[in-house]
Amino acid sequence: MSQQLIDKVNARYMRKDNPDFTIGDTVDVSVRIIEGDKERTQVFSGVVMGRRGSGMSEMFTVRRIVNNEGVERTFPLHSPKVSGINVTRGGKVRRAKLYYLRKRVGKSTRLKDTERHVSGVEQPAARPAAAVQSGQTGQKA
């Protein structure tokens, strides 16, 4: 009985507008910041290193490089402080947590790109079927 009541209260505050993103994706997280009596939105963009928890307590960690220094920040997924999450690039990884990126510097921190569910980014145009069948690739010999 008490668990049902907790679930009902949590369902009221859970956000339904969060995009589908996974570990390895590059995201822009818009965070509401209150300074005195003013409120502004700051964007924190980086690679999703991991997700943990479930339901209302689900959190995700984003890492980015600022002035040659790694900065990681953990955000609650359903927090009212997080005003929006935008997936800018998909990443192909084979791990649930990307802690190995902490030891890497420069180009070795790049992840393979995927063209799956990335919204807002144009997909490359496919070659015409006639060019594929005739063996033309558009390159000079």
How far apart CA 129 and CA 123 sit, in angstroms, is 17
**Domain residue spans of the chain:** 2-118
Instruction: For the chain, give the percent of residues with pLDDT over 90.
Output: 52
Summarize the confidence of residues 59-84 as an average pLDDT: 94
Quote the pLDDT of residue 79.
92
pTM for the model: 0.74
The torsion region of residue 138 among left (phi > 0), alpha (psi -120 to 50) and beta comes to left
Assigned fold of 2-118: SH3 type barrels. (2.30.30)
Give the three-class secondary structure for 136.
coil
Quote the pLDDT of residue 125.
52
Quote the pLDDT of residue 97.
94
Secondary structure E strands in the chain: 26-35, 38-52, 59-66, 69-76, 82-92, 112-114
- Contact between 12 and 6 under an 8 Å Cβ cutoff? The reply is no
Look up residue 94 and give its DSSP letter. S
Name the least confident of 3-17, 84-98, 127-141: 127-141
Closest CA to 112 of 130, 132, 95: 95
